[in-house]
Every structure is written in structure tokens, then in C-alpha cells.
Structure 1
Amino acid sequence: MTISYMRVLFVHNYYQDLGGEDVVFHQEMNAMSEIAGYEVFSLTFRNEKGWKGLWQFGWSPWNIFAKKKLRAAIRRYKPDVIHFHNTQYACGPIVIRTAKKAGIPIVMSLHNFRLLCPSATLFYRGKLFTDSVHAEFPWKAIYHRVLDRSFAKTALTAISYWIHRRIGTWNMVDRYLVLAEFSKQLISNSSLNVAPQKFVVKPNFVEIRAAEMLPKRQNHYLYVGRLSDEKGILELLEALKDTSYSLRIVGSGPLENQVQEIIKNKTHLSYIGALPKDAVYEELLQCKALIVPSVCYEGGTPLTIIEGMMMHTPIIASHIGAIADAVIEGETGYCFEPTSPEAIVQAIQRFEMDSTATHFDITTRAAAQAQLVHSKKHIMALLQHEYDRVCTRNT
């Protein structure tokens, strides 16, 4: 049975600074509004800085103000389904209980691993941190202060999510949308204790215009991403600083000053800074290959990998988490073990030893895979299907 007309309420909590989750929220909401038979509404919250942020964070375990706002939105829009994206922290998990009490089917996108660990990234001080995945309560996460290195923030987040685990809030969600098979297996086999059938892989979609599919390759490699520990930028610079391989670095983040210090007087390494999307696309078209050295578990395949694949850009990436689902050695790219500068150089050497014909075969397979899995048409059809399933089951 397919629902011929549907009212969808998207609920999202913005972080203090714009991030990938915010982009996906707008992307999917706008795409859904373009589909005949769907009426789309939104309710948003925003994390504040300073004392307002502290006030919001203190209320996050049971935010009665967010509950009131959602109840008003339900009365106003009368949605058939509610799709939650981020709920941390100005919103809080109470909105899930509010939607369930109203008898409305719930779909929730999981962009990270916060349901398992306060860190959200399963990464802490340069290493993977997976102690919380199978723990009934994340004592070690609190001890190590994995959230912003703050005992108070880590403890409050841990207690909030544990309380909602104990009272069954997470089981009230009818469908969880995860970004990759790796994430699905990790979360469904964790101590969260939610039925595995509630988890469905729904990647993000990417649109690339035809004019952007014509490569104009130059003789340098490219890094695009946040300049932070978990992205492996320091390992990449360690690998290349004493070689002749040229690298352009696009992005910004907390390690910006350290990156610039490392590449000082290294003429083959250049820092470009943050660029708008169209300029990033141009960089992807011009580089010899995109290098993705992440040392953490990404929630899904990074958008830069998907975009690079669609542009027939060769991908050289760390073999970890969801990245390993997409980049397969000799098939759709070149892989190396994370955290190893030596492995990065070896992967580049394998890439350079292969012929142009081999590069063409690999990038052609990668582009076909990316178009199949990450096309807008495919992803939106999948999303419609899941809306229909939860609505049918709840009627």
C-alpha cells in the first residue's frame, strides 16, 4: 500500500556552526517538497553560545519547552509522519516521546554515533574510542571527558541518553535511517537494544551537473575536509612532507595553524583554505587524485568521496568504517591503513604505478557505483518507501 498524499514534518536542531547535518536536512526537505503528493513543513531549534547555550544544555534531558513547540507544530500542520534529524541539544530526546504520544509515525536520521557514546564520533584524542558501544552505561566516556574534554557536558549527555534508553525512548522510533552498512551493523549490534529491523541504510544523495564530469587533471593531489584530528590531516602531512608529491589542502578547522606551520617552506604542499562548493568541484576536477586519510568511523561515506567518484576523480582513502564500504582496493579506488604515514605513501605509489587505462577502469566503476547508490532519484524513492512503510504500519 502506498500513501498517495502525505504531510511530512521535518524536525532539526542546528549546531552553533553550520555542519553537514544541516546541509542534509535542507537537501532532503527541499527535495521532498518537489515531489507531487507531499506537503513539507519544518520545525527547527538552534544551539546558542554563552549562558543561553548552558541553559539549553541543562534542559536537554527533558526539554519541556521543545515539547511544547512540537505539540504546537503537530496541531498546526497535522503531519502524517515526523522525520527527526539532529536533536542535540536545544531540542532533546523528549520530542520523540511527544510525537509517539500524538500517535504519529517517527523516522529518525542518524548522522553520527551519539546514541552509543557522548563523543558522537567514537573518536578521542587521536584514537578510536569504542568502549561505549557495548557498555550499559558509558562510564569510561565520562572519565575521559570525551565530549569537548568537559566532565560536565560528557556526564550530562551520557545520563540523558541513558535515561531515555532505560525508559524506552529510542524504541519509540519506527525507523532509523543510517548512512552506511557499516553504521547499521555497528549500531544494531550495540548495547542500544533496538530491534535490528528498525535500521535501514539510506545514504545521502549528491547531484553533479554534466558539465562537471569532464576531468582536467593536473599533477597534484588534493585533500578536502575539516582540519581536525579525526580527519587524519596530520598523518597525511607527515607522509608527504619529505616527498616530492604535491598536495593542495582545502578546508578549515582547529588544526589550521598547526597545518600552516608544518607546510611552511614546503613548496610542494599548499594550504588553500575553505572554498565554496563550486570551487571545490573545480579542485576535484583538476587534481590527480583525492586523498581521504580519516582515522575515525565516519557516519557514512564522506560527501567528498561521493562527489569525487561522480567526477571520475581517483580516490585514495583510509580503509576504515563506512569508507571501506565504498572505496575498495583496485576496484573503486586505492586503500591504506589509517594512522600510518608509510601506508599512505605506499598507496600513492600503487596509484602512480598503474596505467592510465587502469585508472580509467577504476574511476568508471566508482562513478557507476556512486550514481547507483547516491543519486537523488534513488535516495528520495527510498525515503518515500520508508515513509509509506511506517505510516501503513501505524494506521
Structure 2
Amino acid sequence: MRILIIHNFYQHKGGEDVVFAQEAAILTEAAHQVETISFHNKKGLKGLLQFFLYPWNVCASRKIMKQVNGFNPDVVHIHNTHYAIGPLLFRKLHQANIPVVLTLHNFRLLDPSANLFHNNTVFTDTIDREFPWKSIRNKVLDNSLLKTFWTAFTVYLHKRLGTWKNIERILTFSEFGKQLFLNSTLGLNADQIAIKPNFAVEDSEPYKVQKKDFFVYIGRLSEEKGVESLLKAFSLSQYTIKIYGDGPLRDRVKEASEIHSNIIYGGFQSKEILHQYVSQSQALIVPSIWFEGMPMTVLEAFACGTPVIASKIGILEEMIRPGKNGLLFEPNNKKSLKETLDNWMSLSTDDKEIISDNCKKDFFDNYSAQKNVLLLERIYKEAIQQSKIQ
């Protein structure tokens, strides 16, 4: 199959970049003919021009269509178009009768915030609105009225033009995400949306790592990640938590680690070091209080047989099956988290071993590279067939 994969990089590296590169690599390894084209959001005057061209970027679309005409792909897979590419590309590909698959890595089509999180709480007020005036008034995107309005206008313009309805397959990570999009004013239909999880690299260690008496948190140190409730829960317990990452709450974490000997801050570490700690830990803690996309840390934990203790919110409630591959607790609730930690530590060694084995099984059944390739191939074929009957 001839596959063109398109991606727009933000100024700061994110999980979408990793998925873009990984999927291009595994599809190539599976003997598909793959080409990629990417754009980067710029700073300064160039970035300002990209921003204002966002709703109708003729130049970016022309450049991409030139490669499309030269490569003649069977299908085009797009990961991100914000800002440097823009939604006009979808219209050009549809006019050329090229099947298109779009991965939704966030909720930008539902609200300019992209993460449905504002003022330290989940924000879903505008999902069922034709135009998100409340989001604009609240300046949910980078606290900027202009950025919020222009992003909202771009999505709204292409909603009115029917752009989003003309995409053959739109990919979300979970049933939860799918329902959010179906309940919106985008006008999408259920057959148009497919669920495709991310994947992680398989654990190469053929043996089981000896578990130690500590838990681990890996990720951005910020409010939406539930770091405050994490610190409060462990300050009330005797259990050890090792925290790795960086972000606006770094000083808060360092302060807590100086006061409580069971809270250990390890800063930013290499992927190899993090893998070691995740493998050895009792469980990975994911205390998010917002709607995650699909945390790669969870997949990587499953890959090495480490259970996950997570907030009962959004996609995490789908991924984590209590007593099977981890445990769930109420989001932003230190008491619930502490009780869940107590429940975990009360389990027998045999019970923990069974849960660890379930984690690895879940990984190979749902989140391995091999499963991902098969799923992508099926989705591409469906998109191609759908394009022929339109």
C-alpha cells in the first residue's frame, strides 16, 4: 500500500510527534511504501503569518498536493494540521478523491482549548454549541482572546463548509473520545469514527523484574496531571513515591520531597532510567484530573508488567480494569487515592503476580506494534473503500 503521512510539529515536542514517527516506521517495516511530509510552527513574523493563514492556507495545501500528485498514494494519513497546515488540505484531498484518515490527538475540534480543561477543572460547556463563545470569553487557549477566537472560527468555518464530514476515517483513542465527538455539533456519523489506540515498544527483557516497595509517577508536573492530590495523598501515608518529570509545579514537588522522606523527586531522566524504575515499581500512578489522550506511560507500564493506579476519568476509566490490570480512584481526591494505595498493598504476592501478567497480556492484545499495524491496515482499506462509494 502507498501511504502518505502528514504531520504539523508544534514549537515544543509532544506525544503526537512520537506517534507520527512510530507509525511511519512500523508501516515501512510491514513492507508498505511510505512517504512523509511535515511542517513546523514558527516563531516571530513567520509564525504570525501561519496563524492568520490557518483557516485557508493555500500555500501549505499546494505544497502537499504537489507531493500527493508525485507519489500517488492509496491513502493519506494526517496527524496534525494546527497551525502551519490548516483544514483547507482536507478539502483539496477530497476534491482529488484521495482517501483521508485523520488521527485526533486532542479535542481541538470540540473546543479551542484542545484539552477541555480550564481554570483547573474539566470544561465541556461548549461541546454542544455551534460556536464556543464562552471559551472565547474565557480565553481558554493560551489566555489569548485572539488565538481562541481564530482557532474557534477556523473549526466553525470548516464545520459550515462540511469539511469534517468529508474525511473518510477519523481516529480516536477510546470509546469515551468517540462519544464526545458524536455528541458534538460537528455532524460526524458513527461509522466515520474508528477507535485506534496508540502503541508502545515491547519490553525486551525476557525475565520478570523483582518488584520493590515504591510507586512511581512520570510526567509533566502540572495542575491538570493531579500532582497536588498526589503529593497530599503520599504525605498522609508511609508509602514511597518516586516522581520524575518537569513543569510549573516542580518547586512544589521539591518542597514536598524536602519535608516528607517518602516523597522522592528524581527530576528529568532518560527513557532507559525511567523504564527501569517503572519495571521495579509496585505500580505507576496516574492521578490526572483532565481528559487524557492516551498516556504512553500507561502503555509502557503494561509492556513491562507494571499495574497502573489511575484516576477514574475519561480514557483512564476504559484502560484500567480494577483488579485486572490496576486500580481506580476518584480524581482530585487525596483520601480516595490513599485508600486505593492501602488496597493495593493489602493484596497478596500471588494476586499482584496475576495482575502483572494481565498487564502484559493487555499490552500484547491491544497496544503492541503488531496489533497497531493490523488495525491501521484495516482502517486504511475501509477509508479507500469509502472513498470509492462516495
Note if 1:367 corresponds to 2:367: no
Note if 1:318 corresponds to 2:308: no
- Aligned equivalents of 1:289, 1:390: Cα separation in 2: 39
CA contact (8 A) 1:298 1:323 kept: yes
Deviations 1:65-117 (A, max 9, x none): 21121121112211111100011111111111111111100000011111101
Which residue does 1:93 correspond to in 2?
Answer: 87
Deviations 1:121-174 (A, max 9, x none): 111121000012111111111111111111111111011111111111111100
C-alpha deviation, 1:195, in angstroms? 1.1
Note if 1:184 corresponds to 2:178: yes
CA 212–24 in structure 1, closer or farther in 2 if over 3 Å, else same? farther
Which residue does 2:72 correspond to in 1?
Answer: 78
- Aligned equivalents of 1:39, 1:210: Cα separation in 2: 27
Which residue does 2:189 correspond to in 1?
Answer: 195
Percent of aligned pairs with the same amino acid: 39
- Aligned equivalents of 1:132, 1:111: Cα separation in 2: 19
Which residue does 1:111 correspond to in 2?
Answer: 105
**Which of 291, 301, 319 is the aligned partner of 1:297?**
291
Poorly superposed stretches of 4+, deviation over 3 Å: none
**Which of 4, 14, 29 is the aligned partner of 1:34?**
29
Deviations 1:37-74 (A, max 9, x none): x2111110101123322221111111122112112111
Deviations 1:342-362 (A, max 9, x none): 111011011111111111122
Letter matched to residue 169 of structure 1: T
RMSD over aligned CA atoms reads: 1.4
Aligned residue for 2:136, secondary structure, equals helix
- Aligned equivalents of 1:170, 1:213: Cα separation in 2: 47
CA contact (8 A) 2:7 2:79 kept: yes
Give the length in aligned residue pairs.
Answer: 388
- Aligned equivalents of 1:67, 1:222: Cα separation in 2: 44
Aligned residue for 1:12, secondary structure, equals strand
Deviations 1:333-390 (A, max 9, x none): 1110001111110110111111111111222222212210111111111101111122
Unpaired segments ≥5 residues, structure 1: 1-5
Aligned residue for 2:243, secondary structure, equals strand
CA contact (8 A) 1:241 1:263 kept: no
CA contact (8 A) 1:11 1:42 kept: yes
C-alpha deviation, 1:13, in angstroms? 0.2
Note if 1:158 corresponds to 2:152: yes
CA contact (8 A) 1:9 1:42 kept: yes
CA 213–387 in structure 1, closer or farther in 2 if over 3 Å, else same? farther
CA contact (8 A) 2:309 2:328 kept: yes
Note if 1:12 corresponds to 2:7: yes
Aligned residue for 1:66, secondary structure, equals helix
Which residue does 1:350 correspond to in 2?
Answer: 343
- Aligned equivalents of 1:352, 1:116: Cα separation in 2: 40
**Which of 150, 167, 170 is the aligned partner of 1:173?**
167
Which residue does 1:131 correspond to in 2?
Answer: 125
CA contact (8 A) 2:221 2:227 kept: yes
Letter matched to residue 178 of structure 2: K
Aligned residue for 1:211, secondary structure, equals coil
Deviations 1:310-346 (A, max 9, x none): 2121221111111110112222211100011111101
Which stretch shows the higher mean deviation, 168-177 or 251-260?
251-260
Q: How does 1:177-326 map onto structure 2 within 5 Å? A: 177-211=171-205, 214-300=208-294, 302-326=295-319
Note if 1:65 corresponds to 2:59: yes
Which residue does 2:371 correspond to in 1?
Answer: 378
CA contact (8 A) 2:302 2:360 kept: yes
CA contact (8 A) 2:203 2:303 kept: no
Note if 1:23 corresponds to 2:31: no
CA contact (8 A) 2:215 2:283 kept: yes
C-alpha deviation, 1:213, in angstroms? 5.3
Aligned residue for 1:263, secondary structure, equals helix
- Aligned equivalents of 2:150, 2:248: Cα separation in 1: 25
C-alpha deviation, 1:19, in angstroms? 0.5
Deviations 1:25-45 (A, max 9, x none): 000011111122x21111101
TM-score between the two structures when normalised by the length of structure 2: 0.96
Which residue does 2:327 correspond to in 1?
Answer: 334
- Aligned equivalents of 1:218, 1:362: Cα separation in 2: 16
CA contact (8 A) 2:168 2:387 kept: no
CA contact (8 A) 2:256 2:263 kept: no
Note if 1:143 corresponds to 2:137: yes
Note if 1:50 corresponds to 2:44: yes
TM-score between the two structures when normalised by the length of structure 1: 0.95
**Which of 378, 383, 391 is the aligned partner of 2:384?**
391
Aligned residue for 2:216, secondary structure, equals strand
CA contact (8 A) 1:63 1:94 kept: yes
